[in-house]
Every structure is written in structure tokens, then in C-alpha cells.
Structure 1
Amino acid sequence: MRSTAIFNLLLSSSSLLEAASIQRAADGASVDLSKATGDAKFLASGWIYGFPDNGTSVDTRIPANYITDIKFRATRAGGAQTPTRGWIEGQKSYLGRFQSTLSNYRTARKYGGTFILLVHDLWGADGSSIPLYPGDKNDWAQTDAFLKQLVSDIKANDMLDGLVLDIWNEPDIDLFWPRPWDQYLSYYVRAHNYFKSQLPTTLISGPSSANAPGVNDAKWKAWLKSVSGNKTIPDIYSWHQIGDWQREPDRTIPDFKTIKAVHNMPDLPIDINEYAWPSEQNPANTVFYIAQLERYNLRGLRANWGSGSGLHDTLANLVGTTDKKTYYPNGEWQLYKYYANMVGTRVATTASADRKFDVFATKSGNSVKIIAGTRSVKAAYNITITGLSSVGFPDSGSLSARVYRFDWAGANGKVGAPVDLGTKTFTYSGGKVTFNVDPATNSTAYAYEFTGKS
């Protein structure tokens, strides 16, 4: 009886899951090939830390192709979790962190990437308990000395090319700023003004908050009011998008536009300078983030969940390594490599209504590439593709697409090139075709390629 009851329960559950899958498949993402949104720029190909330290020199232990093949764009670093603790323990301790920073800067520049310098890590605020923060007891002497030393070292080491100064990371959470918000705002204005007086052409990003902007976020609104009123607006707005509890740019970008409009703040470049929770770092979720970033022209840097020396290695878990430091690609790196070859023009896309499935697409001439992935769910979705005439297809007929699958075996799991699943033929009409995506796992991503007539 008990076995029969369990079987019936499983059968009932299976039917419910099948119904849910069918219901989800009625939902889906869209691609409009007739609407161009700009040249392909590989905006999501960046990460925080991830390069090994090598004194103050370029490091080449990670083979160059693992960096160049994914069209590396930018990194952030500042000597965090190195043996020294930063300015809070004196100039000698600061020097160790600066040397790590300089090595990472030189490695990033070797590969043509922007380097975003993490000022807070050089101070020593890398998530551990520290005794001193800028402006404690309204004493700014140590802060001013620190900023002066940092500017001097930047100039002395020829670090101005490709440099962005990130004034403080995640000031909106106690782990990185356990002080009153007004004290942070005073520090931000002070640091911004000093950097601009000494390095007038160097870009500044901020506020680099852990929380994405929201219309009811008091800290965001206070920061906007402060930087607007004090004329300390950064050159690049920045924040993190980590975890589905933070929503996604489809919602956070409209919110940001709403709250910055209150102070007539200008439209400026935006960095999502950390993205993806650890469980979101796999091919499917990476596609979701890529699609969201590209839709709004946001430069993105993968979050890095390593610690100690592990923070300074593996390109933020895009490559694995053996005990003998031989590097190899994982499944996520293979997805980024494919993404780096999506050249030509980006086209308009939309995510599914439940915001659990998204796509990114480009066209080069009449050739189309689309990547698709879910956000941590295993469920079937549709991709509806319109504007077929813009790439040489008639109003109705059949279309053959080559399909690839991106597998995932964990951050340390070696994965080869995407699996070629062959071609699939779709009939269509009205200049519109629908693909169904039914992923093997909640980490699996897919790519579709097809070409119209010239």
C-alpha cells in the first residue's frame, strides 16, 4: 500500500511538473532581428580580482588565450586578502597591498583591459574587522595622508592609462562600512574632490553599492542628493547585481532613472561591477546576466567568491587549475568564448515575463547567433524570433538552425567545446519563428545559429 501510494504521488507530481513545463513553454523570450541596438562590445567579459600576483610585474602564469579568447574587458582589484592589512596598519602594510594592485594593473593593461582600483582594499576594509574608517571622530588626518600617498604612487608607477578609481566598495552594508551613512557621504565627497584635483582626467566610479538602486532605498537617494548638491557626480555609476533577491536590470535600471531624475542627474556609463551569486555562476545563469547587461549597455564584472590566494587566481573561477598550476577551461569559460565570437550588431531582445529566462542575439550580415539560458530553473521556454526578412528570409517557409549545448561540471570541472547537437528545421510564417528550449539542467545553456539568403 505504501509503495503504491508513493508511486501514485510521484505520478501526480510528475503530471503537475509536466503541466508546469507546458505552462512555462507558453512564456518565453523574444528576438527582433530588425532592430539593431549597437555594435557587439562583449560588455560582460570582466571580473573582480582573478589575476595572480607577481611582485609588481605582469603575471603570465594563466595562458594568454584564456584571457584573449573571451575578449577580456575590465577587472577590479586593490590587494585584498594579501598577507598585509593595508593603510590601517601603516605605510609598510599598505605597500604590500599596493604592490599586489600594481601587478594586477599591469597584467590587465597587458591584455587591454580597464583597471578599476579598489581604494577601500588598500585602506584595509576587505570584509574583516578593522579599527579605523575614514572620518572616525571627525578626524580626517589619516584619510588625507592615505589619499595623498595613493595618488603619489599612482603617478610614480605610471598607472593613469586605463585607470578608474572606485572610491569605496559596498558602503551600504556594515561588512564594509559599519559607520553612519553621513560619514560615508562626507568621505565620498572628500575623496572625489581630492582625486579630481590631483588626477583630473582619471575616471571615478561610484557608489559601488551592494544593493541595486530602488525607488525606496534611502541610502541610494541620500547619495544621489549628496553628489548632486556637492558637484561630485562620478564619471561612471556603479553597483552590484548579485542574486535574484536583487531583481535584475530590467527592473533596476528603470528605478535608477526614476530616482536620479529627482536631482537632474545626467545619463552616464554604468558598471555592474560585481554580478552573479556563486550558485549563479554557470552557463545558464551567465547567459541570463549577459542578456540583461547587454540590453542596457552595462559593463559587467563577474563576482569573485575566492578567498586568500584563491581570490587572486583562475579569472574568478572561469578556469580550473591542477596542483601543478596547469590551467584548463570550465564550462562557463566555454560560454564566454562563444559569446566573444558573437560579432557584428546586437539586436533587440526581451526576457520571459517571469524573468527566469533570457536571450542575447547578434547578427553579422545575414548570419544570426543567439544564446539562451534560464535563471536557476529547469523549465521549458520559447524564443520567438521576428524580423526574419532583415536577414534574407521570405515571409514564410522553413529555417534550419544549428544548435549547441553548453555543459557544466562545476568551477573545477574541465569542459570541452560546446556540444554540437546538429541542425533542426523549423517551419514558420508571418516572418516569425519559434524555438523551444527545454534545458537538460538548470545550469545548461544553448546557442542557435542560422543564416538567411544574401
Structure 2
Amino acid sequence: MSRRSLLGITVLVAAAAAVLPTTPAQAAGHTLVVNVAAPFRPVTHVASGGLYALAENNRPADSTLLPLRLNTNTQPPPGVGQRPNGQPPGGDALLVAAQGDRVGAAQVIRMPDIYPNFPYQWVGWDDWLSKVDTMVTARLNATSVSNVVGWEIWNEPDYTWNTSAAGDFNAGWVRTVQRIRTRDTVTPIVGPSYATYDTNRMRTFLTVARDNNVLPDVMIWHELNHSSAAVAGNVAAYRSVESSLGISPRPIFINEYAWTDEIDVPGRVSSYIAKFERAGVAAADRAFWYEYGTVNGLVVNNSEPTASWWMYKWYGDMAGSMVSTTPPAQTGIDGFASYDSTRRRVDVVFGDESGTNSVRLTGLGALGSSVQVTLESTPGSGRTTAVSAPTTISNTTATVSGGQLTVSVPNMSATGAYHLVVQPTSGVPAYQQRYEAENASVFRAARLSASGASNGGYVGRIDNTGNPRNDSYVDFVVNVPTARSYTMTIGYANGTGATSTQGLAYNGGAWSTVSYPPTAGWGQFGSTVSTTVSLRAGYNVIRLAKGSPFFGGGTGFAELDYIQLT
């Protein structure tokens, strides 16, 4: 990770577009193909996260974070000494945890940032292991913090590890993990956090880690190659090495992505997100190049969105399943898409191309023959320019023929990002009412699939209570139009044969108990229970928990399918 100040990006404004029911052969330029009938995993907003995304004193404001549905942030450790770009130390994971918790975000603690310099200056093994003990002890004492999901052992060891002073990194990894495990046997270990992916280096690391029983629970490297084109190949290469060594599949977390000339370019970043989604990456963080506490350029003046914020907001609005997108090449136009079957709504975010191009949608049969098509854009105007709203390009009605529709987008700017929404012309709810559990923020539980579940997915193994490092809960970030009481219906399964309970709290308020009578069995859905929640207008966070700080713990076990607010 390089840290230096750079100039912002020049403003480019997108021109108007038209919706044309043409075939790809008639469309000029390049075509991004979206198969709405080909879902491949639930929407989890994997790439909505950032290195040093948050800073103390609630920076940036919660109101800017909730719409993004942040997935995972990487923050410095307790006792942070790191001075990024000459800024004072900040972003202590335990101090910003409360805000992360309020917005449904998990966080990983980057341990070497206890040192003040970058690249890190090695002092000695006694010093490092003493610091490891101090960081772990501080985390163990933070009994109200439950959203820490990993210890990142080191950062970019292929660039920052001092082999001459500290010895071989792989041996150092073994020694550090073993030290952590003497005090904390629960929190996942993540790494090795290479600056660049290299198959031979990865094979050597994994072999040593396997043979010493210190494999990372989550695999990390960075994608900072001035292009997203390498993502698919790197993921495939890693999976091949992992399999050849007899190692069970690890979640992949790209906790730094996009170079300095890419990070504030919505069109370019949309291409990264598309490739992360298709490759099955579990989480990804925007790289840190400038200042912390802005989600790396998504917010300016603590509460104003930049152009890039709108692209991530479109991402945050996605629900249901990610569906197949096929770009014409690894570079140029690319995008990611979702389909929410409960609203029959298709969202496509795309960019990284100039000129006249097209989006071809197939598998639209469920939407009917007449659809509303909305197209909007956000410019590549950089990290210091507030953008109050995206630009609406067109809002028209189009005819679906044979389940297909092609939308032509003239005069695209390569730096801007574009958002296409396709939905029926009637029968669409005024606001999202159903929230799938598998789309929510899931802590120490599992996203699973079942043919009888709403949208085909659910959350199970919500089993743990009694320790903030392994409490199991699910956070739903919901958006409602008015402040009032809502009936919340919960779809669930309970195969215990007896009534089970979970805790319910929203917006950090008081806990109540939800009871789940027994059902036909695990993974067999159709049963519901209902309760009442009093929500504020706009975004709210609703937690259903087997265990959570300030909650004594639920009884028995239950699986969650969805919540519905009416």
C-alpha cells in the first residue's frame, strides 16, 4: 500500500441516452449482456467496504453509511500508531466499532498498524510479540464489541516484511498466529495480505501454514494493478493451489483494491466490483490513498456524497440475487446486476467505457411485456466534489420481446458510472418490504440455500451466544418511508421440536424476545411469526440474535428466511 497525496479527477458529464428495443447486432459499440434468469449468489454487497473507512467521532456520518450497506472494513488496532499521509493516528478498531455496529458493518483489525511508519520499521521479536499481547488483551476486554471478524497478521509482507531483521515471513506468521491463539482461540485469522498475487509465493506460504496448523481462516491479497483484468485469473490460480494442497476452500477477501488513478473513478471501480462478484470474492475494501474517515473518498465534509458514493448507493440498493453479466472483454465496458424477485426489479450498474454502447437484458419473462426503464449516471468528478444527486438520463416505457430488451447508452464517459433499473409498469410496491436474510449482515452464522426458501436462500447455524467474539446474529438494514409502527413478519424454520427464542433490537434500542414455535424441520420454510417494530423514517438496523452484547441469549435454535415490513 502506497500512501501519498494526489490530485483529484477531472469532471466529465454523461450525455443523454435512449431506450431502444434493438438487437445486439444493430447496436453500436460494445454490449454488456445481463441474464436476469441466471442468478449465481445472493446480494451481499461484497465490495462495499474500505481500508480505514471510519474514524473516531463518527466520521463520516451514519446517514452516509447506512445506504451503502457496508460489508467489511479494515481498521487499525487498539493503540494505533500508524500516521497515514502525515495524519495523526486514528481509526482505532475498538473506538470506531460502535459506529460500524450501528450501520451493520464487520471489521478486521490490521495488527502491524500499531507501528507509526509505513513501510513498517521492525524493532524486534520481543517488541512485536509484546504488542500482539497488548492488542489481543484490549480486544478481549472490549466486551461490547461484537463486529470484529478477523486479526490481520501483517500487511503486504512481500513489500514491508524485514527478512534480514525478522527472519522468514512464513516462520514469522507461524509464530504470531501461535501467540494469538494462546489468548484468543475464537477470532478468525486473516492473511497473508500480499501486495500482489503470486502463485509460487502463495504455494510456499500455504504449505508452511498447513503443516504448522496455522492456515488463515480468510485468504487476503490486494488488487492494485492499475486494472481489474487480473482478478478472475488470480482467484482461479489461488483456488487451484488451495485444492492441490488439500486445503478446504477459504473465503477470499481483497482488502485493498483500485490504484490511485482508479479509486475515485466510478466507471473503473464498477468494473472491479463486477469481477469480484463473478469470481465469488467474499469481501473487498476500497484501497486507502488519502485520508481516513471518508470510506476513501465516498464522503466529503463528513456528510456530503461524492460522485462515487452514488455508485455504491446503487450497489447498496440491490437485493435478491446477483445475476450473470457477460462483458465483451476483460477490459472496457463491464458491470454487475441483481434481480429482486419479490419486487420483480432488475438493477444494473456499469461503466468503464466511452462512446455509444448497449446493455442487453435476457430472461425478463417474469416482468411482463411492458416495463419501466430508468437510466441515470454519476460523473467521475473526484473525491472532493460533492454531488447532491445522480443525473437522470431517461425514464421511459419499453416493450419486452421474447424475454429480451436492449438499452442503448449513447455518449458514455469512461470515468462515469451508469445505473439501469427495469421493473414492471404496474404492481411494484412503493418501497422495499421484504428483506431476505441472506442479503443481510451475517455474523457467525451461515448463508445457505433451499428450494422452499424465499428467493432460494436463508441464514442458518445462528448458534452462538455468551461471548462477543462469537455471538451469532443477523442485521437487516431497512429503509421505510415514514416514521411509524410496522408489522414485521419473520419467515423461519425451527427443527428442534420445541419453541426457540431470539433477541430482537432495532437502532440500538431495548431488547425484546421473538418466539419461534417448532416447524416441519430444518430448511423447510413457510412458517411465520409477527411482531411490531417502531421505526424512524429512512434507514433502520434491525437485529435478530441468538447472542449479542447486552442480550442474555436466546434458547434453542431457529433459521431465518426473511423479514417483511408492512
Q: TM-score, with normalisation over the residues of structure 2?
A: 0.63
Distance 1:131 1:148, change over 3 A: closer
1:47 aligns with 2:31: no
**CA separation of 1:165 and 1:450: change in aligned 2, threshold 3 A:** same
Runs of 5+ in structure 1 lacking a partner? 1-21, 54-58, 87-95, 134-139
Residue 301 of structure 1 deviates from its aligned partner by: 0.8
Q: Does 1:156 align with 2:138?
A: no
Whether the 8 Å CA contact 2:306–2:387 is kept in 1: the answer is yes
Root mean square deviation, CA, Å: 3.0
CA distance in 1, matches of 2:27, 2:406: 14
Structure 2 residue 382 is matched with structure 1 residue 404: no
Higher strand share: 2
Q: Match of 2:103, as an amino acid?
A: Y
* Matches of 1:372 and 1:142, distance apart in 2: 48
Q: For structure 1, which segment, 35-44 or 201-210, has the greater mean C-alpha deviation from structure 2 after superposition?
A: 35-44
Residue 373 of structure 1: aligned partner: 351
Q: How many angstroms apart in 1 are the aligned matches of 2:102 and 2:367?
A: 41
Out of 182, 188, 205, the residue aligned to residue 203 of structure 1 is 188
- 1:51, 1:312 within 8 Å by CA — same for their partners in 2? yes
Q: Deviations over 1:170-190 (max 9, x none)?
A: 1111xx223269611111111
Structure 1 Cα separation of the partners of residues 130 and 60 of structure 2: 36
The aligned counterpart of 2:271 is 288
Match of 1:172 in 2: 158
Aligned mates of 2:383, 2:258 — CA distance in 1: 14
CA contact (8 A) 1:319 1:411 kept: yes
CA distance in 2, matches of 1:38, 1:156: 37
Q: Name the counterpart of 1:60.
A: 58
Deviation at 1:80, TM superposition (A): 11
3-state secondary structure, aligned to 2:207: helix
Q: How do residues 170-319 of structure 1 correspond to structure 2 at under 5 angstroms?
A: 170-173=156-159, 176-179=160-163, 183-212=168-197, 214=198, 217-244=199-226, 247-281=229-263, 282-295=265-278, 296-306=280-290, 311-319=291-299
Distance 1:31 1:208, change over 3 A: same
Matched letter for residue 226 of structure 2: D
The residue identity in structure 2 corresponding to 1:198 is R
Please state how far the C-alpha of 1:199 moved relative to its aligned partner. Answer: 1.2
Quick check: 440-449 or 159-168, which moved more? 159-168
Q: Cα 1:74–1:122, aligned 2, differ >3 Å: closer, same or farther?
A: same
- Secondary structure of the structure 2 residue equivalent to 1:286: helix
| 1:126 partner amino acid | F
Determine the structure 2 residue equivalent to 1:32.
Answer: 35
Partner of 2:323: 347
CA distance in 2, matches of 1:64, 1:107: 7
- 1:161 Cα offset (Å): 1.9
Distance 1:99 1:67 in 2: 16
What SS class does the counterpart of residue 207 from structure 1 fall into?
strand
* Structure 2 CA distance for partners of 1:250 and 1:435, relative to 1, 3 Å: farther
Question: 1: distance between equivalents of 2:340 and 2:167?
Answer: 50
Distance change (3 Å), C-alpha of 1:97 and 1:444: closer
SS at 1:368 equivalent: strand
State the SS of the aligned residue for 2:328: coil
Partner of 1:392: 367
The structural deviation recorded for 1:75 is 1.4
**Counterpart for residue 72 of structure 2:** 74
CA distance in 2, matches of 1:194, 1:115: 21
Contact kept? 1:243, 1:280, Cα under 8 Å: no
Deviations 1:146-199 (A, max 9, x none): 2222222221233762221000011111xx223269611111111122223321
1:27 Cα shift?
A: 4.0
Displacement after TM superposition at 1:254 (Å) = 1.1
Q: Could you say what secondary structure the match of 1:437 adopts?
A: strand
**Structure with the higher fraction of residues in helix conformation:** 1
- Counterpart in 2 of 1:418? 390
Shift of 1:414: 1.2
**Deviations, residues 63-108 of structure 1 (Å, cap 9, x unaligned):** 21101121122211216997x569xxxxxxxxx9699343233432
How many residues get paired?
392
Q: What is the identity percentage for the equivalent residue pairs of Structure 1 and Structure 2?
A: 22
- In the alignment, structure 2 segments of 5+ residues that lack a partner are 1-24, 428-566
Q: 8 Å contact 2:97–2:145 — kept in the other structure?
A: no
1:367: how far off?
1.7
Indicate yes or no: 2:429 matched with 1:445. Answer: no
Structure 1 residue 427: deviation in Å?
Answer: 6.0
Q: Structure 1 residues 39, 358: CA separation in 2 closer, same or farther (over 3 Å shift)?
A: same
| 3-state SS in 2 of match to 1:148 | helix
1:206 is paired with a residue whose SS is strand
Matched, 1:132 2:123: yes
Structure 1 residues 186 and 416, CA gap change in structure 2 (3 angstroms)? same
* CA pair 249-426 structure 1, distance change in 2 beyond 3 A: farther
Give the match for residue 432 of structure 1.
404
